[in-house]
Structure 1
Amino acid sequence: MATSSTPSNKSLGKDSWLRSVMDKCILKDDGSNFLEWESNIKSAALSDNVLTYLTDAPPIKPGPRASSAVRTAYDDHVRMSNDIKNVLIWSMSPKLKLSCISLNAYEIFARMITMFSQTPKVRQYDAAACFFEAKLERGQKVGPHLLKMVEYVDILERLGYNIPKTLVVDRILHSIRTKFAHFRVNYNMNGIDKSYHEIHELLTQAERDMEASGSDNRDVLTMKLKNMSLGVKKGKGKEKPQFKKSSKKHNKGKGKAVENGNPKAKSVKLSETECFHCNGKGHYRRSCPKYLEDLKEGHVTPIGFKGRASTSKR
């Protein structure tokens, strides 16, 4: 049985879908990425019309009295199975490769399912946990992050758990809040409704713009949202600050006095105020008891009265 590292071109051509997954998804020793590996292998094998070599047991070797047509069909099956086996081995970690050298394609695929497959309930729990805990890490590209989240949603839908689109979008925006906070605010404030593909396109393009310009992500995203007509008004230019710092020459009164570190009399405490009528402290003349009593008896002129002062003695 052939054990070469790459499949022959005789059965699986250069344009084979199955060959295209050999380097894209390597099955890890612990099977932590088994769901992704299994999905890629099945999809590619289905495209090449060779899925039965993985899911159906191989035919029994024909006896010496079998017809030439039966022998030919068996030889063709063995040849194709060997090619598919090489693809499977190439897409595994070195440790798993060694354990599958002596097996055919059907046996390899069945062993991996036995080792790493999970019950639907466990797969549902793991996919939901990964989806709701996903977070865009520092230095991570936003494109693969979004595709991974959508993949978790697809797994849940295949298991019969449908998540509303609005909840999926909210969870995606929440997972990228650190780097794309301004995008999230504009998306929610303007009532925008975009598909997963459109959100992916907007964010990946915005990320490329930020990397190319080296500008702050807030400025680049604001410009991107304007260009994409996501509800942000055009032609306004940069926002002007609502308030400007006043120069010192425009400050008057108390504010100027405090700024220069030289408080005026207005800031003097009431307990230090001297009455102009009785020369006492702690009150003004208008509230002086002696002044009010003299005013009642007509011994003094009321404050602000310009007429002739009373000549009465105190």
Structure 2
Amino acid sequence: MALCFEDKEYVLEKSLDEIDGMKATPEEMDAYEKHYKDATKATCIMVTTMTLELQRHYEDYWSYEMNKGLIGKYHKRARQEKYEMVKSLVACKMKDGESVSNHISRMRQYVDRLIKLNMNFDEELVIDIMLRSFPSCYDQFILTYHLNNNETTLSQLHNLLRTTEAGMKVKGVAFTPVADPVLAIVQGKGKMRKGPPKMNWKGKSQAGSSSSGTKGKSSSDVPPISDPKEATCFYCNDKGH
């Protein structure tokens, strides 16, 4: 940061080559002296910010050689860490009962770390990854968000999600997705009726043909009989049944 502030970061990308003072032009001598001074200052800054072990290793190096050696030494480690951060970010899902604020904060930690590892992130891509991480109870919010073609920052999206979360809590919407649609109906509408509705047999039966094809009598045409043996069968008209 100090080198960028003083416009001296070029010494990290350009080596300090010796020139022949007898043959060099005045412009070339001025450029060399400026580069020498800037490289010396950058080298001192880099060495003072290193650990003792690195200081002993790079004490005779210029800033350009130090930067090249450090990149080769730590690039593989940074590449591995970058892969792990991307993997964690994409696999991050909102936990059961977790608040929106905690979930977004957890994902932003991954994003911030990737930015420090020199990975450029488009904000829209970050928002899409975050929306993908929410459970199915946020599907209506995500659909509305895309239909309205909203262009929001991460902070604005956070506020929208907090408002949605508060409304879902008021309505008693569960934060865990319901996989079984029948179970969802039971939870939303009350208990379901099992089997066909009960028939009402208390009314008078209608006279006409039965399912067996024989003509039946209505219950009002059958006179009451005290002796069961003398009773006439309702279906076959025989006594004693």
Which TM-score applies when normalising by structure 2? Answer: 0.46
What TM-score, normalized by structure 1, do the two folds share?
A: 0.37
